[in-house]
Amino acid sequence: MNCIIIDDEITARVVIAQLCRTHDNLHVVEEFPNAIQALKYLNQNEVDLIFLDIHMPDFTGFDLIETLKNPPKVILTTSDANFAIQAFEYKCIIDYLVKPITAERFDKAVQKAESLIVQDIEPVAPLRKRGETSGKDLYVNIDRRLIKIDMSSVYLVEAKGDYIQIKTDNKNYTVHSTLKKIEEKLPDHTFLKVHRSYIINIKKIIDIEDNSVLIKKDVIPVSRSNRSELMKRLNLL
Amino acid sequence: MEKPNLNYVKEMSGGDAEFEKTIVGILKMEYPQEKAIYYKSVEENDLKKIADIVHKLKHKISILGLLKSYELAIGYEKSLLSGSMEGKEDFEEILQNMTDYLENLEV
């Protein structure tokens, strides 16, 4: 989980960062001495979790949460236990740590964050057999974030060493995976592996010429062994 | 008066001497700044500002293991927020106690 720490007190930031170091899956990407700087960062970057101090001058932790359109999960860190009731009025706040934070209490909060973040992503990645896609979306892991891709927008998947490039109508994604793995996730009535390095969306073909297909602006080779399968799938006149 | 200690810092460090050195260095650097803000706010008689800095100082009081002092600071902060300065003398004794300790603490 990528997290940031927002606290106007250096000591507090150092203590929280030290506690984060005891969790292998917690990665502190930034620290901020005030919520305004954090807001600028969050407008351009996504994180999984914020350790947020409430009591800060000018712009409080609550001000920050209310300003964010889609706030990530938040663990409040404060020297004041009196905000607890107000804190849980916000859906994004998952725990409330009173300073000085103990390692035991911190661990519980992180475990809670982990379980809630997993719950958020689990429904979109169920185990299924090849071709049995339960939805129209595919989630891919890029820089520790799960990015949703509408499968109907995918027109080409290309193998590139240890990575695959997924090309969609709007954007291209480079993902650490194999062609074989993604082939299992894509609906086989729409997608076909035409070459050892390419899977195409049959519905997006513009034309076919001998041993290649034109998809969007990409000319994709079709191997001899896959050509007959491709031809079978086409509605030929 | 209770004596400050580094039990919490040592607990946090898990034996990481580098972390202990860092946190003590930061306490020695940040605490005098916050204390100066406190006395400046007192001079200005700005109760809200005093309450804000007392709130912040509470964390350092607790980090130095001053449990009773922490409770006194909570009471003083509440007084300030309700427009009174009750608890000022006790709080300033706590500040002095911390100053003496941190000044003699080696990084």
Q: Which CATH number is A24's domain given?
A: 3.40.50.2300
Residue numbers of the domain that contains A13: 2-122
Q: Which of A193, A146, A204 is nearest to A173 (CA)?
A: A146
Q: Does residue A39 sit in the same domain as residue A103?
A: yes
- So what's the pLDDT on residue A118? 65
Q: Does residue A118 sit in the same domain as residue A141?
A: no
A111 touches A136 (CB < 8 A)? no
B55 vs A15, A19, A55: nearest CB: A55
- So what's the pLDDT on residue A226? 86
* DSSP bridge pairs for A84: none
pLDDT at residue A48 is higher than 80: yes
- Find the mean pLDDT for residues A8-32: 94
In a domain, residue A173? The reply is yes
A103-142 confidence digits (pLDDT tens): 999 999 999 998 887 666 544 444 444 444 445 788 888 7
A10 touches chain B (CB under 8 A): yes
Looking at A122, A155, A181, which one is the last position of a domain? A122
Q: Does residue A105 sit in the same domain as residue A165?
A: no
- Find the mean pLDDT for residues A86-113: 90
Are residues A79 and B62, on separate chains, in Cβ contact within 8 Å?
A: yes
Are residues A14 and B63, on separate chains, in Cβ contact within 8 Å?
A: no
pLDDT at residue A97 is higher than 90: yes
A153-178 confidence digits (pLDDT tens): 999 999 988 889 999 988 888 888 88
Stated pTM of the model: 0.65
Q: Which CATH number is A213's domain given?
A: 2.40.50.1020
Q: Does residue A169 sit in the same domain as residue A110?
A: no
B56 touches chain A (CB under 8 A): yes
Q: Does residue A63 sit in the same domain as residue A148?
A: no
In a domain, residue A79? The reply is yes
- So what's the pLDDT on residue A129? 42
- Find the mean pLDDT for residues A195-202: 92
Q: Does residue A100 sit in the same domain as residue A184?
A: no
Q: Who contacts B33 (Cβ-Cβ below 8 Å, separation ≥6)?
A: none
Q: Does residue A21 sit in the same domain as residue A96?
A: yes
Task: Give me the residues of B, 63-82, that contact A with CB < 8 A.
Answer: 63
Question: Coil, strand or helix: which one is B34?
Answer: helix
B48 touches chain A (CB under 8 A): no
Looking at A91, A122, A153, which one is the last position of a domain? A122
Q: Does residue A114 sit in the same domain as residue A157?
A: no
A233 touches chain B (CB under 8 A): no
For A86-190, where are the E strands, in sequence order? Answer: 93-98, 137-142, 145-150, 154-160, 163-168, 172-175
Instruction: Please tell me the total count of domains within chain A.
Output: 2
In a domain, residue A192? The reply is yes
Residue of chain B minimizing CA distance to A19: B12
Q: Who contacts B80 (Cβ-Cβ below 8 Å, separation ≥6)?
A: B47, B48, B50, B51, B54
* DSSP bridge pairs for A20: none
**Distance (Å) from the alpha carbon of A90 to chain B's nearest alpha carbon:** 23
Q: Does residue A118 sit in the same domain as residue A150?
A: no
Predicted confidence band of residue A76 (pLDDT cuts 50, 70, 90)? very high
Spatial separation of the C-alpha atoms in residues A145 and A136, rounded to whole Å: 19
- So what's the pLDDT on residue A6? 97
B11 touches chain A (CB under 8 A): yes
B22 touches chain A (CB under 8 A): yes
Residues lower than pLDDT 50 in chain B: none
A27 touches A3 (CB < 8 A)? yes
Q: Does residue A219 sit in the same domain as residue A179?
A: yes
Q: In this prediction, what percent of chain A has a pLDDT beyond 70?
A: 92
A11 vs B19, B27, B55: nearest CB: B27
A203-219 confidence digits (pLDDT tens): 899 998 878 999 988 99
Q: Does residue A21 sit in the same domain as residue A116?
A: yes
Are residues B62 and A22, on separate chains, in Cβ contact within 8 Å?
A: no
Q: Does domain B10-103 have CATH number 1.20.120?
A: yes
Average pLDDT, chain A: 86
- Find the mean pLDDT for residues A14-34: 94
Burial of A126 (0-12, 13-18, 19+ CB in 10 A): exposed
Are residues A99 and B55, on separate chains, in Cβ contact within 8 Å?
A: no
Q: Does residue A102 sit in the same domain as residue A163?
A: no
B8 touches chain A (CB under 8 A): yes
In a domain, residue A191? The reply is yes
A57 vs B13, B52, B59: nearest CB: B52
Predicted confidence band of residue A194 (pLDDT cuts 50, 70, 90)? very high
In a domain, residue A99? The reply is yes
- So what's the pLDDT on residue A127? 40
Q: A129: which 2 tokens?
A: 């057999």
